[in-house]
Amino acid sequence: MIPDSGASAPEPDFGRYTSQVHFELDTWPDDYDCEDDMVETGTTVDDEDDLAALQDACALCDHFYVAELDGENICDYQTHPVPSPDYRGLVLDDDKGVAQVYRFDESDGSFSEDLLDANGTWDSETWIVTFSGEYRFLGDVSFSGELQFPELEDQGALSRRVRGCVRARSPGLSVRRSSPGSGRGRSCRRPLRWGRSPGSS
């Protein structure tokens, strides 16, 4: 049989993702120690003003997303909310298999970055990002998870979905863009208040 030379390899859909996030609280006092799991879904930011502001906050980020979580508070403790929706940013390096995961605080249309994990992993074969981190608020809060991109169903949609989330690289930067397309496009909307205690600057 002659192989179909027109067949293309599967591509990840960088326009959306699903993530399973596990939280652990080590509280003071220990009576309130607990664990909790949430599902986070992310979609490409589609507001041009938001995207421009996010790119200003994280020049290295390849992709920006709005993240929605299926819970409001860790272990139903109102002292530990997880705001949703929230904003996410990703830096993916195909060659090194490294991922950096960010979230962003928004104020009057401007964003400040908050690095959740500088040493996450990116598997370009399975399209999975793994991440973990911790912060301190009324005890120690740790989180970990896997972020999964689905297969792109319409190959022609790749540039339409991805170009809105990818910022062009300067020639001197070593971190690779893992998806095709370049230049400014549309933004990727909002995720969770991890990595920074409420009220901290």
pLDDT in tens, 24-35: 988 776 678 899
**Tokens 């401007």, located at residue:** 110
Nearest to 89 by CA among 74, 106, 76, 77: 106
| Rounded distance between C-alpha atoms, residue 136 and residue 97, angstroms | 28
| Rounded distance between C-alpha atoms, residue 141 and residue 119, angstroms | 18
7 pLDDT band (50/70/90 cuts)?
low
Q: What confidence score (pLDDT) does residue 37 get?
A: 95
| Rounded distance between C-alpha atoms, residue 57 and residue 154, angstroms | 31
Strand, coil or helix: what is 62? Answer: coil
